[in-house]
Structure 1
Amino acid sequence: MTVRPEGPAERIVWSTLTWTWPFYAIGTLYVVGPVLAWVLAGLAALSLYLGPAIRRDLRPTGPVPGLIWLWFAGMAVMLFALWAGHMDWDLGMMKTIKSSIGWAKGWALLALFPLAGAVLPIRREVLIRAQCIVGLWTLVLAPALLAAPYLGLPERIFTSPFKAVGGPGPEYFTVYLYTFDPASWTARWQFYAPWSPFAAILGILMVLFALEEKQRRWMLIGVCAGVLMILASKSRMGLVGLVACTMAPRLLPLIARSWAWFAVSTITASAAVWGAFAYDMAVAAVQGFKGARADSTRVRETLQRIAWERWQNDAVWFGHGTVQPGPHLVEYMPIGSHHTWYALLFVKGVTGFLAFLIPFVAHFIFVTIDAINNPRGRLPLGILLTFLLLSFGENIEIEVYLMWPSLVLLGCHLREAATSVHPRETQAQGVPA
């Protein structure tokens, strides 16, 4: 099956995604993501404004779904919380402007990319095939990357001059062959991500996309590339996500059936016999998971505790406005990092926390219901499960610039759900079962 982009929107998305590795090679990925978001959102706004007057291959595919408006409302409240936090702490006009630009490059993308997917004529199969092409790039380059530390090649090749545009740190503009884990001094690979655990998340998303690919050759390429990224990153979060985020969307329709509920109730009723043993096993597994990287776990838990206590004591409603340097106890890691939810409370308070929580939960419920009734919901549900997993270990807003294909697909799914009357009709139109 040949998949080719049609129309300006699809060609922009296709070219940007398939050129992921070349963009990484010159250190511009952090710039490309936000620019793409605002360009696609501008096209979507123009399409909605002109309607039938615009060229046929840019006409809106339907009205803006309600969930997209909810995301826009949430991200607007996020910006308001940012301004309020800066005013409360007298951070000054320059810091407020800088943080607002950061919002435009981060949180705003959570609404802009789904808008583009929901309004512009972008097909999910184009996104899926392009993601598999990125997987092919990854497999071709993998031998050189994996051999680099054993050949004595340097970890870092160079830092791009594009870092002058500003960002969370120089690692977003740096081209790496590999890095060393400071705890064990063994090599870890991050591919085109700024650090290894994030590469594992991108690997999970690649596997999710590849599993929906209709052509088996491309599917195997995408799955192999995604699994390689997860294993080479040596991320605990990636291993958990590989199982949970791929299996849960496929098991959900079975659990929803009556016979499955009967089986679950039977198992639950017998929990009195084996429940204590299962609990002990689960506790041991969790402790083993944390002990695999004890130093990392300690730093993360300490950061979360500090963020929680300072949020309660200092700034409940609008937070501190920005992350703050941490003490030696947490290896000087910024307070308000390494956890989306604690970071939101610390930086933007309850207002920012709810601004992200409400649209995320609403979208999650929507895709869960659709995944039960229709195979088209499996990929969106897997994506949101991956985002949820990521939120407990990283800050989502500084990583959306690489997760944009998933956000566009979430918008495509909302469009498909709005235009489909019955699940069987969707299957008849070619959505993989």
Structure 2
Amino acid sequence: MIPRQDIAPANPAERMVLTTLRWTWPFYFVGAIYVVGPVLGWLLAGLAALSLYFAPVIRADLRPRGPVPDLVWVWFLGMFVMLVALWIGHLDWGYDAKQIIKSSIGWAKGWALMALFPLAGAVLPIRREVLVRGQCIIGLWTLILLPVLFAAPYVGLPEKIFTSPLKAVGGPGPEYFSVYFFTYDPSSWTPRWQFYAPWSPFAALLGVLQVCFALEDRNIRWRSIGIAAGVAMILLSKSRMGLVGLVACTIGPRLLPLILRGWMWQVLAAFSASLAVIGTYLVQALKDGVAAFKGARADSTRVRETLQRIAGERWYNDAFWFGHGRVQPGPHLVEYMPIGSHHTWWGLLFVKGVVGFLALLVPLVWQTVMALVDATRSPRGRLPLSVVMVLVLLSFGENIEIEAYMMWPGLIVLGIHAAELRADKYGAQSLPAAA
């Protein structure tokens, strides 16, 4: 039985958000998710700008929460620096105006979203519970479709259904516009599922995000649906990173408040003292666990490590400050994977140099510290901290910028949290009159 929908959008911004979440699977079926994400980001950011500008006279249900928080401005500054680094890198390496324009459009569909969605969350009156329920609705779709997806490889259905003609708008690759039942793992030739993501490891982290959101739903039926769907995505994607995230990103934020309790310090003191006896065994067990983790998909680990080494060497030797401007084709040694892919941080160093690396590091560290501190004090900080942890995990196995178009619910939550912290510090403030 489908649980009753007891949360309704209260304004146009919430209606846009909830409608987009409800239609995630239908958008996937026509290969439109990659188009919908950036369009939504720019529309919400434009609505936020109008809300700020016309604050005294705009309709009551769209009035801003308050001035833009400092953290959101830092995200904007960082992403603008990304654009400048992109331009300088292209000019340094002799790319023509056509390529610079094309890459700038890519920035608008990628890195720019890292600032636009937090702006929307910080300014527009979008409630957390709307985002939470929207994620659970995606989970309901997932559970309904799960039997068909799971049976597909065993009843002879094809891997890929089709590639949408929407690929004509341009993007990182055809997989962003393709619809799949499943794919085969090239290392074992066993099926793995990617659901509505462009590939399986990313689907696993979307599953982690699904669980983190679902844990916040007050309706036990919707909460159960969201958690079940998220766990199914993690397990069927067969991603090691997803399993790590399922534990770390859900349990970690809920354990943080314990560090403020006196008895927890006594437990930690006792554990620290015991390390003198069992420390050697724990270190060896940790090493064995890491080795087993890497060995679970040894070919994938080898390719990723080689890509990172090549990216690091070429960044340091060839383009220290502003990078190479764009990813470049890799050799046969890395199965022709692009150099600068499969790792946000090494990718940033290779493509945008130290400048681009710092442009992401500074706002992300700031956001992480704020979420950590608030999570120790209040349950309000648990979901933002979970989102940040998912982003950090994602950054070590994927390129965040080309996946921001699907991480947008979490990015909006980060903006909402920044506005809440600003309100705690400064209280409600009136905005200047419209010009």
Q: TM-score range by the shorter chain?
A: over 0.9
Could you report, residue by residue, the CA deviation over 1:254-290 in whole angstroms, capped at 9, with x for unpaired residues?
Answer: 0233321232122112211100000000000000000
Distance 1:255 1:289 in 2: 29
The answer as to 2:60 corresponding to 1:56 is yes
Written as runs of structure 1 = structure 2, the 5 A alignment for 1:162-173 is 162-173=166-177
Distance 1:314 1:261 in 2: 49
Distance 1:269 1:88 in 2: 55
The answer as to 2:389 corresponding to 1:385 is yes
Structure 2 residue aligned with 1:67, among 51, 60, 71?
A: 71
Distance 2:150 2:424 in 1: 45
Distance 1:215 1:332 in 2: 47
The answer as to 2:62 corresponding to 1:38 is no
Q: Which residue of 1 aligns with 2:328?
A: 324
Q: Which residue of 2 aligns with 1:333?
A: 337
Q: Please identify, of 36-45 and 254-263, the stretch whose mean Cα deviation from structure 2 is larger.
A: 254-263
Q: Which residue of 1 aligns with 2:212?
A: 208
Distance 1:6 1:312 in 2: 51
Distance 1:190 1:288 in 2: 24
The answer as to 2:310 corresponding to 1:306 is yes
Q: Which residue of 1 aligns with 2:194?
A: 190
The answer as to 2:401 corresponding to 1:397 is yes
Could you report, residue by residue, the CA deviation over 1:332-375 in whole angstroms, capped at 9, with x for unpaired residues?
Answer: 00000000000000000000000000000001000110001110
Could you report, residue by residue, the CA deviation over 1:201-248 in whole angstroms, capped at 9, with x for unpaired residues?
Answer: 000000000000000000000000000000000000000000011011
Q: TM-score, normalised by structure 1?
A: 0.96
- Say which SS state the counterpart of residue 196 (structure 2) adopts: coil
Using the TM superposition, give the Cα deviation of residue 124 of structure 1 relative to its aligned residue in structure 2, in angstroms.
Answer: 0.2
Could you report, residue by residue, the CA deviation over 1:30-77 in whole angstroms, capped at 9, with x for unpaired residues?
Answer: 000000000000000000001111111111111101100000000011
Distance 2:245 2:103 in 1: 31
Q: Which residue of 2 aligns with 1:411?
A: 415
Aligned residue identity for 2:227? V
Q: Which residue of 2 aligns with 1:269?
A: 273
Distance 1:67 1:418 in 2: 9
Could you report, residue by residue, the CA deviation over 1:122-165 in whole angstroms, capped at 9, with x for unpaired residues?
Answer: 00000000110000000000000000000100001100000000
Q: Which residue of 2 aligns with 1:119?
A: 123
Using the TM superposition, give the Cα deviation of residue 391 of structure 1 relative to its aligned residue in structure 2, in angstroms.
Answer: 0.5
The answer as to 2:14 corresponding to 1:7 is no
Q: Which residue of 2 aligns with 1:139?
A: 143
Q: Which residue of 1 aligns with 2:152?
A: 148
Distance 1:204 1:56 in 2: 36
Distance 1:61 1:266 in 2: 46
Aligned residue identity for 1:253? P
Aligned residue identity for 2:14? E
Distance 1:399 1:309 in 2: 26
Distance 1:209 1:416 in 2: 18
Distance 2:326 2:133 in 1: 39
The answer as to 2:33 corresponding to 1:29 is yes
Q: Which residue of 2 aligns with 1:128?
A: 132
Structure 2 residue aligned with 1:238, among 237, 242, 247?
A: 242
Identity of aligned residues (%): 68
User: What's the RMSD between the two structures over aligned residues?
Assistant: 1.0
Gaps of 5+ in 1: 423-433
Distance 1:395 1:258 in 2: 41
Using the TM superposition, give the Cα deviation of residue 421 of structure 1 relative to its aligned residue in structure 2, in angstroms.
Answer: 7.0
Q: TM-score, normalised by structure 2?
A: 0.96
Structure 2 residue aligned with 1:96, among 95, 100, 110?
A: 100
Distance 1:308 1:262 in 2: 43
- Say which SS state the counterpart of residue 158 (structure 1) adopts: strand
Distance 1:198 1:421 in 2: 36
Structure 2 residue aligned with 1:286, among 278, 285, 290?
A: 290
